[in-house]
Structure 1
Amino acid sequence: MNRVPMTVEGAEALRTELEDLKKVQRPAVVQAIAEAREHGDLKENAEYHAAREKQGFIEGRIQEIEAKLSLAQVIDVKAIEPSGKVIFGTTVTIIHMEDDSEVTYKIVGDDEADVKQKKISVNSPIARALIGKEEGDIAVVNTPSGAVEYEIDSVEHI
């Protein structure tokens, strides 16, 4: 079984969602099914079918989260001594070598990736080009429009 890297924040978000699904949403949908059953004929009872469909989604998501958490290798980057090297969980500021534009990304697990929040998957082309490099190094990212060079400006354990 392959362990899946995950940040402390990512694991906590999944645990919070799991608790909500088990303690809030699951009981609510069971109640909705019970109420819909009281309305009689289940064949043409849209409320009953909608509630059963929602129940299936909730149970599927519970199983999915439990599986992800069981495979998770939670990495607390704050507990790792900063070395200036890009590793999983670090926040990296890079400078585009052609136009001097600067961008900061946090390298996270696949499930946590969200470009809008500047969180990129450890398996993304940019992260793969950065991992193992150090502050001051040049990372070459192969994009559909060709190779792009970035200088690693800073690596933070935050």
Structure 2
Amino acid sequence: MPEHIKSKLAEEIKALEHELTTELPAEIKKAVALGDLSENAEYHMAKQRQVFVNARLGQLKKRMGELAMVNLANIPHDKVGFGSTVTVYDSTKDETIEYKLVTSEESDVSKGLISTTSPIGRSLVGKVIGDVAVVVTPNGKRELEVLKLSTIHDVALEETAKE
């Protein structure tokens, strides 16, 4: 997995843990000192934030665990998968589009970076050149024909050849 994703998640985890162990207890303590907790907005907001931070920490730690288990060697060399750059022909829009399949943390449709878990990403995974992927969208079905494919392994080979 790209290290910048792991470091970004680790930074967010560190910031949330600091908030959970340092900032929120101080806010709760200050709110308790104001008295009557039943009508104390500061107290209730701090407690709600504490619940949110705990939930977000759980999500981030789970995601870090998932990313740690990804083995790039298991990504196919001849099919669309994580890290692939795919040129497709969209017969519905009569245009050629290039997508790069990335993690959900990196996705940015405006830059052509789509998540492997997005509807388009899921429909393209496992396809080879010449295959047609059918994507169900709110506007109806789209058919994407794979015209060109460069996998994460192809990119690694190109970078090694440059060195």
Is TM-score (shorter-chain normalized) higher than 0.5? yes
Residue identity over aligned pairs, in percent, reads 31
Counterpart of 1:65 in structure 2: which amino acid? L
Mark the CA change 1:47 to 1:17 in structure 2 (over 3 Å): closer, same or farther: same
2:61 is the alignment partner of 1:66: yes
Matched, 1:150 2:155: no
**What aligned pairs does 1:1-158 form with structure 2 within 5 A after superposition?**
8-24=3-19, 26-72=21-67, 73-75=69-71, 83=77, 85-97=79-91, 99-109=93-103, 113=107, 115-116=109-110, 118-134=112-128, 136-143=129-136, 145-146=140-141, 148-155=143-150, 157=152
Q: Are the counterparts in 1 of residues 135 and 141 from structure 2 also a CA contact under 8 Å? A: yes
CA deviation profile, 1:21-69 (whole Å, cap 9, x unmatched): 0124642222211211221222211111111110111112112222232
TM-superposed CA distance for 1:7, in Å, is: 5.7
How many residue pairs were aligned?
150
Q: Quick one: structure 1 residues 54 and 125, their matched pair in 2 at CA, closer, same or farther if it must change by over 3 Å?
A: closer
- 1:92-139 deviation digits (Å, cap 9, x = unpaired): 2323246542323232345665545544342444333322333x4232
- Go from structure 1 to structure 2 and tell me whether the alpha carbon gap of 1:132 and 1:13 turns closer, same or farther (over 3 Å shift): same
Quick one: higher RCO (CA 8 Å, sep 6+), 1 or 2? Answer: 1
Consecutive unaligned residues of structure 1, counting only runs of 5 or more, are 1-5
8 Å contact from structure 1 (residues 105, 118) kept in 2: yes
Q: Answer 1 or 2: which has greater helix percent.
A: 2
Higher strand share: 1
TM-score under structure 1 normalisation?
0.69
The CA RMSD measured in Å over matched residues stands at 3.4
26-35 vs 10-19, which deviates more?
10-19
Query: Which structure 2 residue ranges, 5 or more long, are not aligned?
Result: 156-163
TM-score normalised by length of structure 2: 0.68
